[in-house]
Structure 1
């Protein structure tokens, strides 16, 4: 009598029929988790009280900018040497340097802070290191430390869409 020889489990068809979907689920789950961790959304603040108090200071910055009749025009010059030129107008002493913050609407990692040096009265220039495309939020202020933006004397805000042009006005936010 010939007895069938038993094969090792990994050579059995039914073993792979059961294991293949399980292995596929583990691989796809690992990829999904790694993508979710790597491309997670920016965190929402959990200190609402502090942010509410800082809102008052932000409104004061806008009011001071309106009282000084401040307005600016931002002009980006793209190419090999990406630069930005800002024309600031208003009833103020023009500081030696300004800070222009470019905030990406989705990716906080793309945000950039550009220190602008005075070329002449009311005219400032700085270098841009990030590729500029699509839409960005702009904030101009005399405070050079980005972490201290809420203590700046005034601020101007605006928005630019590089698909539509390379210049944008900055004004005090009206409430």
Structure 2
């Protein structure tokens, strides 16, 4: 008569297999929660009413730019952007804004002054790639030119 020696439960395969499956789900859930809490979306707006009113103001600024006959041509260069403005009476300083479509950390804001030829230069150390919102406006905020752009691009007309 042969006696069967039973192993302890922790020395067998199936209990560990059944324990590992739920533990893997718990670890995946915790890591998903950590990733989601660290990478919150930047596009969510708290005050929708205020944002809606701002859209109406934006439209009037765009209309003012058309009435004044303003336009711009943006040319991408190796070290940044060259902006040629048409319709400005004097070489005033302009507010230049580039808003990334999904990552607000990459947004770029600058005040630009014209060179001797009337062109504006925006310099950046990182190459511009992807979808952006480009905005040009004067210091007094009387008009605005804006457009959604995708870089790299040779010429952009605003």
CA distance in 2, matches of 1:84, 1:157: 15
Is 1:90 aligned to residue 78 of structure 2? no
Q: Structure 1 residues 34-43 or 59-68, which shifts more?
A: 34-43
Kindly state the Cα deviation for residue 25 of structure 1 after the two structures are TM-superposed.
0.8
Tell me whether 1:155 sits opposite 2:144 in the alignment. Answer: yes
Is contact 1:68-1:92 (8 Å) kept? no
Partner of 1:61: 61
Contact 1:98–1:142 under 8 Å retained in 2: yes
Q: Does 1:108 align with 2:96?
A: no
Indicate the RMSD between aligned Cα atoms, in angstroms: 2.5
Paired residues of 1:70 and 1:88 also in contact (CA < 8 A): yes
- 8 Å contact from structure 2 (residues 70, 85) kept in 1: yes
Alignment match of 1:139 (pick from 125, 135, 142) = 135
Unaligned runs of 5+ in 2: none
Q: 1:45: Cα distance to partner?
A: 1.3
Aligned residues: 156
Partner Cα distance (1:31, 1:6) in 2: 35
C-alpha deviation, 1:121, in angstroms:
5.4
Structure 1 contact 114–128 (Cα < 8 Å) conserved: no
TM-score, with structure 2 as normaliser: 0.82
- For the residues of structure 2 that align with 1:101 and 1:10, how far apart are their CA atoms? 63
Matching residue of 2:119: 123
**Secondary structure in 2 matching 1:118:** coil
For 1:140 and 1:91, how far apart are their aligned partners in 2? 12
- Secondary structure of 1:25's partner? helix
